[in-house]
Amino acid sequence: MSIQISRTGLNSSCAAIAIFMASLSIAQAQDASGTPMAASADAAEPEAGLSEIVVTAERRSENLQKTALAVSAVDGAALQAANISQPQDLSKLIPALKLSSSGGNGTQVTIRGVGNFAGNAYSEPAVAINLDGVYLARSGGPNGLFYDLERVEVLKGPQGTLYGRNATAGAINVIARKPTDTLSAEGAFTVGNYDLVRGEAAVNVPLAEGAALRVAGIFVRRDGYMSDGYNDDRSESIRAQLQLDMTDRLSVLLSGDYVHVGGNGTAGVFAPFLNPDDPYLGPTRDGTNAILTEASLAISRGGNPNLLPKVRDDGFVDMDNWGVSATISYDLDGVDLTVIPAYRRSDNSYLHYAAGFPITASELSKATSVEVRLGSSDASPIKWLVGGYYFDEALNFDLFANQGVAFNRTVPDLKTRSYAAFGQLTYSMTDTFRVTAGGRYTNERKTQSGVNGGPLPPVPAGFPGPAVAFYNLACAPYDAAASTCFGALDGVVRDSKVTWKAGVEYDAGDRSLLYANVATGFKAGGFYASLTPNTFKPETLTAYTVGSKNRFLDNTLQLNLEAFYWVYKDKQITHLGPILPGGFGLITENAGKADIYGAEIELLWQPVASDRFSANLQYLNSKYSDFTYRQSTATGVPNTACVTTPIAGAQAVQVDCSGRVASLSPKWTLNANYVHIFELGDGSSVDAQMGTQIQSGYWVGEEYLAGQFQKASMVSNASLTWHVSNDRFSLAAFVDNIEDRAIKAASFVQPVLGASFALLRAPRTFGLRGNFRF
């Protein structure tokens, strides 16, 4: 089922401003006491109507509706009801967010089209993902963590003041449930199609006065969505937390977690689909290999059919992530001291064919971080927070990308060390008007060593000696057994930057907040696998935001509005490009400027206790005003629909995609959901839920080939949940993607064929879930 969404209505930034002005008018329609006329009972009955969500988006606990930020929050119950078990699933809940697998257990994250392709271990996310305040440096870091959660916060726009590294586009805060002083146990068991079996459990044990332990875990087994077994889920995770209230002033939370992810991993399919009637027919069965064989025969003029390797069903993922941290809190009489030391290790091996050829790699990351914060805790007119941050990572990996007629072997050692000092202050000029200013200084140093290998270079005409003598001179070293020429990788990258934020906020009523912010963020530069030049510069983003958060009608109606304008410069784009001493590989370079603007409306209405309706509509206009990059032509013509210009003396072209819409940026996205509760006579109840996500068409790759366009779509879900009278047990039947639409999540262009391979979101899934607690 395809929905074509009209372009009438909000089609310019003027519409976004109009929405904000409308909300301003609503907020100002109040009586002299500051209480909305339609909600005069709010102050007397604050417990009625919609519940509150407390977030820590600004490093202190605040009511979400009183936080002057563009932030969305989803609590643990909603995450479980939506069957969120992996980070990629968040895309169906938050319109501004797009997550997908990138092969090899990596996760590609974008917010409003700002993000990066996580093609190998060189890649660092433009969206900072944090687990209980600890930054996850690797793209596979968030996998396996989505269980026993208090909530997930998504901060939209640059977070260059209070957050750690590389928060150009925003941040995702994953907050686990903490130990309490109550003995409890709870869990859930889910079965479904594709032989899904998922079990999760949590136990909370008070150990002594001021000491409690919480242990939680999850176990998942699911067959692949693709017919040949790819896109499966084989994972186990466990998390333990020990809360120690040492004194009235001092508390310590010790945390440790372990995640293993296995299975076949992800695979891509030709797009446009070779079999449109069955897009989930796996690449080993849909005719892909026949095309690869035909292409290799053509390339070799009837010679070696192995020049272009086949896609096989032997792909795998074997990832072990674990980490330990402490959160130390001390009350200094009106000032809160927080110290968070942490260590994380990621050991990841994989073989995947998501790019249309085999990529084999092993990665090992060891990261240490320490954050120290001092913040005000009293009720004075000044709220302030200052802190420092230290991050150190040692990363080495061995990657072999084999396109058959060409290949790339990368074996680097990378080290990153980052320091930052930050602060933010909010001053209440009156009881209802506040101003905020903040800044952060970051200093980062990266080094690279190791080797990068590729095919043997041609022997110059007239070279005085055998070919092996030339290879021994030109390569460092020459691997005769693998016919590979290696070159030394080296270099140092130093970046420092001051990022800042300024904002105002106004309480237009007891439950109405107006705010406006300007914030900046940056993502540090880095390396790719090549002889020098082999570096790229930082990217930056400046965001202008105005918003309004409101509760009306006796606290039964919530209306939040946001208008935004982002200036995105020096975008870091990762793609196949020319490298030195020759050939091509995955490179990153800076590729111009984009202007991004739009508006988001969030509506939540609970007219009676048994009915709840929510809707979230985003309008997004994202276009590159300057977008140029290089592309290799070593295997043939350029693989892009953009304008190209040959580069003299190189097997490469300059690609100009200026004026194009940014990828992963649908102009319209609507999430809508309705829940009705049927009360039964014995005290039990049944929740009936129906939801949908409607999106206009968008691109999933920046080559803009026909197969990289995702048409407008509608993807719906439904569930029925029976609760016993004391709510200690519930049983739910659910179905997701009722329309069974094949939605493209990401793409990669096979360099030899010049054809796009697409990664797909889940097809129709259904099952039963039972929950218990006592």
**At 426, is the secondary structure helix, strand, or coil?**
strand
Residue 306 — pLDDT band, cuts 50, 70, 90?
low
Q: Of 101 and 638, which is predicted with more confidence?
A: 638
d(CA 184, CA 774): 6
**At 22, is the secondary structure helix, strand, or coil?**
helix
| Distances, alpha carbon 685 to alpha carbons 78, 80, 665, 682, 724, in Å | 18, 18, 40, 9, 7
d(CA 141, CA 119): 15
The CATH architecture to which 13-773 belongs is Beta Barrel (2.40)
d(CA 141, CA 134): 11
d(CA 244, CA 77): 26
Contacts for 29-34: CB closer than 8 Å, 24+ residues apart: 30/508, 30/509, 30/512, 34/432, 34/507, 34/508, 34/509, 34/510
Q: Which helix (H) or strand (E) holds 77?
A: helix 76-81
Read off the pLDDT of each residue in 543-564 and give the average, rounded to a whole number: 96
d(CA 162, CA 165): 10
In eight-state DSSP terms, residue 8 is -
| Dihedral class, residue 104 (left if φ above 0, else alpha if ψ from -120 to 50, else beta) | left
Q: Say if residue 758's pLDDT is above 70.
A: yes
d(CA 577, CA 597): 30
Token pair, residue 194, equals 């594709």
d(CA 253, CA 450): 39
What pLDDT does 48 receive? 55
Q: Say if residue 489's pLDDT is above 70.
A: yes
d(CA 674, CA 690): 5
With beta carbons less than 8 A apart as the criterion, state whether 186 and 76 touch.
no
What pLDDT does 297 receive? 77
Read off the pLDDT of each residue in 320-339 and give the average, rounded to a whole number: 96
Give me the helices (H) in 387-534, please: 467-474
Query: pLDDT tens digits, residue range 401-428?
Result: 988 778 889 999 999 999 999 999 999 9
Q: Say if residue 378's pLDDT is above 60.
A: yes
Q: Say if residue 93's pLDDT is above 50.
A: yes
Q: Say if residue 634's pLDDT is above 90.
A: no
| Distances, alpha carbon 161 to alpha carbons 111, 265, 389, 556, 587, in Å | 18, 36, 11, 34, 29
What pLDDT does 730 receive? 96
Q: Which helix (H) or strand (E) holds 25?
A: helix 13-28
Residue 570 — pLDDT band, cuts 50, 70, 90?
very high
First to last CA, the chain: 43
Give the contacts of 417 (CB within 8 A, at least 6 positions apart): 391, 392, 444, 445, 446
pLDDT > 70: percent of the chain: 93
Q: Of 518 and 121, which is predicted with more confidence?
A: 518
Least confident of 42-46, 645-649, 742-746: 42-46
- pTM recorded for the entire structure: 0.90
Phi and psi for 213 in degrees, rounded to 5? -125, 135
Q: Say if residue 17's pLDDT is above 50.
A: no
345 strand-pairing partners: 322, 366
What are the structural domain ranges in the chain? 13-773
Read off the pLDDT of each residue in 353-381 and give the average, rounded to a whole number: 92
